[in-house]
Structure 1
Amino acid sequence: MKILEIDPWVKPYANDVELRMNRYQKLKEVLLKEKGKLYDFANGHHYFGFHRQKDGWIYREWAPAADALYLMGDFNHWDRYRHPLRKKENGIWEIYLSGNHVLHHSSRVKVHVVKEGQGKDRIPLYIRRVVQDKETHDFSGQIWNPEKPFQWTDKDFKVDLGQPPFIYEVHIGMAQEKEGIGTYREFEELVLPRIKEQGYNTIQMMAIMQHPYYASFGYHVSNYFAASSWFGNPEELKSLINKAHEMGITVLMDIVQSHAVKNVAEGINGFDGTVQQFFHDGSRGTHSAWDSKLFNYGKHEVIHFLLSSLKYWMEEFHFDGFRFDGVTSMIYHDHGLGTAFDHYEKYFSLNTDVEALNYLQLANELIKEVRPDAVSIAEDMSGMPGMCLPIHYGGIGFDYRLSMGMPDFWIKTLEKNDEDWDMNAMYHELSTSRPNEKRVGYVESHDQALVGDKTFIFRLADKEMYDSMGKGSQSIVIDRAIALHKMARLITISLGSEGYLTFMGNEFGHPEWIDFPREGNQWSFKYCRRQWSLAESPFLRYKDLNAFDKAMVSLMKEQDLMGETDLKCLTIDNEKKIIGYQKKGYLFLYNFHPEKSFEGLEIPTYQDRKYQVVLSTDEKRFDGDGHIDHQLVYKTVDLKNHPKDRGILVYLPSRTAMVLKAF
């Protein structure tokens, strides 16, 4: 197990890793039997659900504890008992409907499930579209079989795994400036070009799986094979993804397999009349903080259902991979709530859910079988060792881990006085990772933008944003906010992370929080949209923040400066609030001091080179003062305070960062 060589701190827990790997291998043997690959196993969507035949339709369902199932819909005037399903082996039910037109495209359907004399109308488990009645507000399944299916043109698109992901996290519904729900088509036409222009090469789509409550941000999933109808129909989602691929943009899905909505009428909870069909019983099956149901990852049928969902989204919609939500919640029995993961024994204990870890290993192996160029990202705040190591090393198999500690660090830092910011802690937090682990760094995501929290710039500027973001405004609060907004992003993207993420609008300091329409705000969409016009107005300072973000991403991408390769710390001065480091011939220098600018600041470079500034947060085009001379050539000299070293002398203004290139 190579994990023991890569991370020696794991060695005392070698037996735990070996147990996990043995269980994984045995689980695969049981699941696959004569099938050689998970690719051939994860085909529930090809068998269950509705499938067109030569002269009719066949519908299959898995409901092991049910006593009877009846198909109903507009095709039989919603008669609950006219079309019974026949029970077969292993809890499988089936009905064949003769006639090509008995079900047609857009037909609405449900299945009436009877258990111990009690019947409930349910949405089929493998349904591919769910719609809401405008009058009754009830949800029902819908047959999706268009006469002219979408024609893909992206067959030549491949994810370049050698290129770092610059991720633009998006929510289709709130991506529009209008006060309403945006659509797949609007996003394709209006937002995709903006993402491309900004330089991001990957989008991470939230809320794609069907969810009954719009304000859940898509995290209370009800239907695991249905694209959200809040934003349009499946063909329109396919068109969006196809267009992204034509632009060279990778498309990841924010997939939710950590929990499910507890709703019975809309979701999968209690489908066959029992909680145990998909979820654990009792307290283990309920997430108290999320008010949702928790999957039983030790049950083979549940594994089959969830793996089939992964394959379906990749096959049917050409998703290039996934960001797995709530991994920490999955892999610990206490869901990581209130646990400080400050020792390796916290990762290898009775609190660790080995069944969930084994499921994630299966998921990652399947993803690579379907698409060797696919990408998987773990949202894990615990830092589980081996999360991003290959499975055959003893790892879990993810490509990247979302560095959730980074936004937490920035929040805690902003709670301190500027004079008390710790430069050593900043460098450590932003540069440290598990051995061989690839990280996606970020200052903030959608989490920090929600009501109850604050975006980075809103923590800095607060109410001043409403009156002082005009170009002619004078505000020391806004000046500080804009300066630190740029500096935080530059040091976060450049200090070792192999990937980078922003949530749409945060790159230009989008004001206010995200407040989904709800009873408490009179179902208003005023704060559930993106005001792109702010970043386009020549009279507002948002435009300059947007320009800096574009220049920053361009530099990091075009000069291949992501990751820890060749990263060398040059100076950290906690009193002066100075940080300096070198990467691939580029110097990154920061002065976080709230007041002091430094003339003739010594920066050891340990080599004789010439340097010139290529990017500065102080440039006037980025709403800076323009105090840094980009034409000046810095030559290495002997340093007074570092007698044995050579370096350069620079002028570094207060709250300013700059990048110099060696030549």
Structure 2
Amino acid sequence: MNSVKTYTLFTEHDVYLFKEGKHYKLYDKFGAHSVEKDGIQGVYFSVWAPNAKKVSVIGNFNNWNDKDHILFPRWDESGIWEGFIAGLTWGTLYKYAIETPRGEILEKSDPYALSWEQNIQAASLVSTTWYEWKDKEWLKNRWKKNSLNAPISVYEMHLASWLREGDDPKRFLNYREIAKKLVPYIKEMGFTHVEFMPVMEYPYDPSWGYQITGFYAATSRFGSPQDLMFLINELHNNDIGVILDWVPSHFPGDANGLYRFDGSYLYEHEDPRKGFHPDWKSYIFNYGRNEVKSFLISNAMFWLERYHADGLRVDAVTSMLHLDYSRNEGEWEPNIYGENVNLEAKAFLQEFNTAVYKEFGDNIITIAEESSDFPMLTKPVHDGGVGFGMKWMMGWMHDTLDYFKVEHADRKFSHHKLTFASMYMYNENYMMPLSHDEVVHGKASLIYKMVGDEWQKFANLRVLYVYMFTHPGAKLLFMGDEFGQTSEWNFTQSLDWHLLEHPIHKGLQTLVKDLNHIYRYETAFYENQFDKSGFEWVEADDLENSVITYLRKGKKKDDVFMVVLNLTPKVLDYKIGINAGTHWEVVFNSDDERYNGSGVKPEIIKEQSEPWMNRPNSIILKLPPLAGVVLKMKKDKKYKLHRIKLHKR
């Protein structure tokens, strides 16, 4: 006997929008919802399975049999199955038993489930995302924090391996335990945002969260949906934004997941040239199918609305946009123009960006992880762009890390690797990433990418960080890099926090604190970071000395800083051209003893009227070895400089 009653949350307009690819809040309709029917409390279930012969709800309430609770197919040929089961409540375990046209019974977890069981069965749980948020003030003002004219310094982290405590090294901290440790740490370090690697449910730990099965479920590894909301709420109430990694590029072939969901190619593209990812052995969404677009854009909306996320960093955009990504000749088919652009994926990304910015305005930001030179990623859709707020500056990252591997005596031959980014840095709105991908798979930790002995390695990394934090663009640093994690990132264990017992590691951490402080509170370093007026070369071509010099300028005429990078281990008396009527004072030195540097003090030895570097006047500046030195322009010699206030150690 079928114990399911007819019930629906869908209006005809909902179904129309879903089929048109324009329904952006499907989580209000699909899935398991606690409702009341005829005075009886129960759960309404709905699932999309257009090619199924029969769909049943199975669970711990009916001994997992597929005979007692059969859903009803809607009359409108939408492929939606739905119905009401009385007496069920929060915590009920369930799946859908889907009979395919061939008579096979597939047991599938709910694509819209809000929680998943954390075991090999991975059943869905009837759950809720209700939470009493207390971040109203943050939401009211967060547009200021996500503005392109605001400092954006992101701490990227993996929740399972940031910190582990106790006798069991395999035990994760839960979301609430992480909140107690993470919030004060981010505040102390001065980062403006934290970026979480995927928090959506995933079955395979070594995927780091990028092989998602439960797109609407916060992973239960660390607790409940409300526990994650508590963590985000605490970050918001301490003036810290939250960016979530979002993965619309692919999904794994787990038997209970989206793959062949109703026995057909439903979510994935049927053509393996478009539907299978050869590197990751995973499946690629069919971006041309309207119902799939509704699923994905609704998913983005879900994390922004229900979890109050302040931004989404979209993973693997390069693989989405290029039909020939990781494919040999003959393994891909050109588009209608004979080119390699996946037009359906591009249109999907444009629609995604249009939808979320229309809904949330400048309160949120979308960020593309994109490693090619695909044009206009961060330009408005109405101008032909893809509509992202920012793009990772992968070219800068690769060139910079390559440069710092070069022996000091040979750097003159690689000099322009460090300056080339200025040729394109205003083509897009860039975020400068030193991410998790750079410290795994034999690539070495950042500190061991640096050349030289131990002191030189740390000095090189300090000057790299000065270059990064004073260069135009937003910033991103992966956890552990702020104190010089020596081993490659290992997702199975905690970072090596004990390294902070050593002054050289503590000094590097202090440097990052101070650079965050300078970036956040000195307007010249951020308010024009995406505008050509904010940057000017003083000298980009001094290959012989391996020194580069540039200005960073704010909106006020006298808000100007000069950055000088000495990229050799020599102390130099270095001549720099300056404009007439300007005077300068040193305000920061990465070689300071505060950072465990050598303590060589940079100072202006001489000011003179002698022209240099195409400027009418010049100064002689004593430059410490392997150091980044920052100078502030003074109005006149008598002007009392406003000192940069640095953190106490």
Distance 1:76 1:643 in 2: 83
Of residues 83, 89, 94, the one that matches 1:104 is: 89
**Counterpart residue number, 1:4:** none
Distance 1:293 1:91 in 2: 22
CA 336–612 in structure 1, closer or farther in 2 if over 3 Å, else same: farther
> SS at 2:503's partner residue?
coil
Distance 2:338 2:517 in 1: 44
Deviation for aligned residue 1:39: 12
1:315 matches 2:333: no
CA 337–197 in structure 1, closer or farther in 2 if over 3 Å, else same: farther
1:360 matches 2:349: yes
**Counterpart residue number, 1:479:** 455
1:159 matches 2:143: yes
Indicate if the aligned counterparts of 2:161 and 2:490 stay in contact, CA closer than 8 A: no
Distance 1:277 1:371 in 2: 27
Q: Describe how 1:279-290 pairs up with structure 2 within 5 A.
A: 279-290=269-280
> SS at 1:542's partner residue?
helix
1:513 matches 2:488: yes
**Counterpart residue number, 2:448:** 458
Indicate if the aligned counterparts of 1:104 and 1:145 stay in contact, CA closer than 8 A: no
Indicate if the aligned counterparts of 2:154 and 2:475 stay in contact, CA closer than 8 A: yes
Distance 1:204 1:616 in 2: 29
> SS at 1:139's partner residue?
coil
**Counterpart residue number, 1:652:** 623
CA 495–128 in structure 1, closer or farther in 2 if over 3 Å, else same: same
CA 626–152 in structure 1, closer or farther in 2 if over 3 Å, else same: same
**Counterpart residue number, 2:389:** 399
Indicate if the aligned counterparts of 1:610 and 1:635 stay in contact, CA closer than 8 A: no
**Counterpart residue number, 1:76:** 62
Question: Gaps spanning 5+ residues in structure 2: where?
Answer: 1-12, 554-559, 635-649
Distance 1:644 1:252 in 2: 43
Of residues 344, 348, 372, the one that matches 1:382 is: 372
Deviation for aligned residue 1:412: 2.5
Indicate if the aligned counterparts of 1:450 and 1:514 stay in contact, CA closer than 8 A: yes
Give 1:609's aligned amino acid. T
Indicate if the aligned counterparts of 1:219 and 1:256 stay in contact, CA closer than 8 A: yes
Indicate if the aligned counterparts of 1:325 and 1:378 stay in contact, CA closer than 8 A: yes
**Counterpart residue number, 1:606:** 579
**Counterpart residue number, 2:512:** 549
Give 1:42's aligned amino acid. Y
Deviation for aligned residue 1:540: 3.4
CA 67–177 in structure 1, closer or farther in 2 if over 3 Å, else same: same
> SS at 1:507's partner residue?
coil
Deviation for aligned residue 1:427: 4.0
1:95 matches 2:76: no
Deviation track 1:298-356 (CA, whole Å, cap 9, x = no partner) reads: 110110110111111112111112000000000010126699xxxxx99x862001111
**Counterpart residue number, 2:591:** 618
Distance 1:43 1:642 in 2: 58
Distance 2:611 2:230 in 1: 62
> SS at 2:222's partner residue?
coil
Give 2:582's aligned amino acid. R
**Counterpart residue number, 1:140:** 123
1:173 matches 2:160: yes
1:588 matches 2:563: yes
Distance 1:643 1:296 in 2: 56
Distance 1:228 1:511 in 2: 29
Indicate if the aligned counterparts of 1:612 and 1:634 stay in contact, CA closer than 8 A: no
**Counterpart residue number, 1:522:** none
Give 1:549's aligned amino acid. V
CA 576–633 in structure 1, closer or farther in 2 if over 3 Å, else same: closer
CA 361–640 in structure 1, closer or farther in 2 if over 3 Å, else same: closer
Indicate if the aligned counterparts of 1:109 and 1:140 stay in contact, CA closer than 8 A: yes
**Counterpart residue number, 1:492:** 468
Deviation for aligned residue 1:639: 3.0
Of residues 42, 62, 69, the one that matches 2:24 is: 42
> SS at 1:541's partner residue?
helix
Give 2:114's aligned amino acid. R
Distance 1:39 1:247 in 2: 38
Of residues 305, 314, 324, the one that matches 1:324 is: 314
Q: TM-score if structure 2 supplies the norm length?
A: 0.85
CA 565–198 in structure 1, closer or farther in 2 if over 3 Å, else same: farther
Give 2:127's aligned amino acid. W
Distance 1:338 1:543 in 2: 47
CA 214–324 in structure 1, closer or farther in 2 if over 3 Å, else same: same
CA 208–642 in structure 1, closer or farther in 2 if over 3 Å, else same: closer
1:503 matches 2:478: yes
Indicate if the aligned counterparts of 1:221 and 1:261 stay in contact, CA closer than 8 A: yes
> SS at 2:349's partner residue?
helix
Distance 1:408 1:76 in 2: 56
> SS at 1:248's partner residue?
coil
Distance 2:63 2:498 in 1: 49
Indicate if the aligned counterparts of 1:224 and 1:309 stay in contact, CA closer than 8 A: yes
Deviation for aligned residue 1:452: 2.5
Of residues 69, 78, 98, the one that matches 1:113 is: 98
Question: Gaps spanning 5+ residues in structure 1: where?
Answer: 1-30, 340-344, 462-475, 517-524
**Counterpart residue number, 2:632:** 661
Deviation for aligned residue 1:169: 0.6
1:597 matches 2:571: yes
CA 96–566 in structure 1, closer or farther in 2 if over 3 Å, else same: closer
Distance 1:644 1:156 in 2: 48
Distance 1:426 1:495 in 2: 14
> SS at 2:533's partner residue?
coil
CA 71–354 in structure 1, closer or farther in 2 if over 3 Å, else same: same
Deviation for aligned residue 1:657: 1.6
Give 1:124's aligned amino acid. D
**Counterpart residue number, 2:7:** none
Distance 2:410 2:340 in 1: 37
Pairwise CA RMSD of aligned residues? 2.5
Distance 1:482 1:92 in 2: 59
Indicate if the aligned counterparts of 1:328 and 1:336 stay in contact, CA closer than 8 A: no
**Counterpart residue number, 2:535:** 567
Distance 1:80 1:607 in 2: 84
CA 337–283 in structure 1, closer or farther in 2 if over 3 Å, else same: closer
CA 551–435 in structure 1, closer or farther in 2 if over 3 Å, else same: closer
Distance 1:496 1:634 in 2: 29
Deviation for aligned residue 1:394: 1.4
**Counterpart residue number, 1:408:** 398
1:429 matches 2:404: no
Identity %: 27
Distance 1:612 1:338 in 2: 56
Give 1:534's aligned amino acid. L
CA 174–159 in structure 1, closer or farther in 2 if over 3 Å, else same: farther
Indicate if the aligned counterparts of 1:222 and 1:268 stay in contact, CA closer than 8 A: yes
CA 123–377 in structure 1, closer or farther in 2 if over 3 Å, else same: same
Give 1:652's aligned amino acid. L
Indicate if the aligned counterparts of 2:403 and 2:415 stay in contact, CA closer than 8 A: no
Q: TM-score if structure 1 supplies the norm length?
A: 0.84
Deviation for aligned residue 1:52: 1.6
> SS at 2:371's partner residue?
coil
**Range with greater deviation from structure 2 (546-555 or 151-160):** 151-160
Deviation track 1:585-613 (CA, whole Å, cap 9, x = no partner) reads: 1110011124x3212x1100123222111
Indicate if the aligned counterparts of 1:430 and 1:492 stay in contact, CA closer than 8 A: no
**Counterpart residue number, 2:4:** none
